[in-house]
Amino acid sequence: MATTMQRAEAAEHAMSEELDRVVVKSVLFTSGERDPRVPVLRPPDQGKLYQMGHDSRLPKMPDKPTLFDFFRYRFGPSAHMLQSARLAQKNGVSEKIVLACLLHDIAIAGFIRCDHGYWSAQLLEPYVDEEVSWAIRYHQTLRFFADDSVGYKYPEMYVKLFGADYQPEPHIQAAYRYARDHKWYMSSRLITVNDLYSFDPNAKVELEEFTDVVGRNFKQPKEGLGFDPSPSAHMWRTINWPTRYL
């Protein structure tokens, strides 16, 4: 009897036969579902070339993709970030913080979930004010710690998700102590204040509402995100072409 893993591999094999290029997944895509130490055998190429660009299963991105193009073509639902930005605006914070709220979870939406504050910040760093990426980096840590001065409590949701006895690990505690004493602490804290899970499901917020905020505060590279020489361009390219062989 075929194991679940064998069935999944067979399905994947059948799917890859329909593609015009051979696709090999990155270790990170499957680590845990399979043992990363076991070598990945190259699937039989059947005379095909290996994937070295656009994956035909995904919508094609423009040649010079913008931040909004990534929202439209590569990110999962972004209602949470849009609602958070809307709430921040309603609370009268600065435009920089509205932008930070709009982008704070982009790593979850389109890249890697673990340590999402750090990945989100790194993706954005070359294109935004240093304070914005700093605030985004540390929001992940600050979410674990209450701040009565702004009415921020440890999220009920985290108790459900991680258990009542979850304690942030020492590296998170250390990051918290560092952030708490930093001049931009409150900028990061304001993301957590506006970072709501139980938003109004009926409030529809459109990305276009933030065209001007993004236009003024995000340095869109003329070559397109991923094709510019910034230190995080490769990360945007990987989101654009997640299955490229090299």
The interface with Fe ion within residues 194-233 (CB under 5 A) comprises: 195
Cβ 143 to Fe ion, closest distance in Å? Answer: 6
Shortest Å distance, C-beta 91 to Fe ion: 15
Which of these ranges, 7-15, 22-30, 63-71, 188-196, lies near Fe ion under the rule CB under 5 A? 188-196
Backbone angles phi, psi at 125, to 5 degrees: -45, -45
Contact letters (x/-) for Fe ion, 103-142, by CB under 5 A? Answer: --x-------------------------------------
For residue 119, the one-letter residue type is W
**Minimum CB distance to Fe ion smaller for 138 or for 236:** 138
Query: Judged by CB under 5 A, how many residues of this single chain contact Fe ion?
Result: 2
Which range binds Fe ion by CB under 5 A, 168-176, 193-201, 210-218, 229-237? 193-201
Residues 6+ apart with CB under 8 A from 129: 96, 217
Which residue number, 125 or 195, has a Cβ lying nearer to Fe ion? Answer: 195
Closest to Fe ion by CB, 23 vs 100, is 100
Q: Residue 106 corresponds to which amino acid? A: I
CB of 232 to Fe ion, least distance (A): 18
* Smallest separation, CB 97 to Fe ion (Å): 14
Q: In the complex, what is the shortest distance from the CB of residue 53 to Fe ion, in angstroms, rounded to a whole number? A: 31
Whole-number minimum distance, CB 42 to Fe ion, in Å?
A: 37
Q: What are phi and psi of 172, to 5 degrees?
A: -75, -40
Q: Which of residues 78-107 bind Fe ion (CB under 5 A)?
A: 105
Distance in Å, CB of 132 to Fe ion, minimum: 14
Q: Which is nearer to Fe ion, 23 or 121 (CB)?
A: 121
**Near Fe ion by CB under 5 A, which window of 46-54, 91-99, 146-154, 189-197?**
189-197
Within residues 16-55, the interface with Fe ion by CB under 5 A covers none
Kindly report the three-state secondary structure assignment for every residue of the chain: CCCHHHHHHHHHHHHHHHCCEECCCCHHHHECCECCCCCCCCCCCCCCEECCCCCCCCCCCCCCCCHHHHHHHCCCCCHHHHHHHHHHHHCCCCHHHHHHHHHCCHHHHHCCCCCHHHHHHHHHHHHCCHHHHHHHHHHHHHCCCCEHHHCECCCHHHHHHHCCCCCCCHHHHHHHHHHHCCCCHHHHHHHHHCCCCCCCCCCCCCHHHHHHHHHHHCCCCCCCCCCCCCCCHHHHHHHHCCCCCC
Task: Please give the residue ranges that form the binding site for Fe ion (CB under 5 A).
Answer: 105, 195
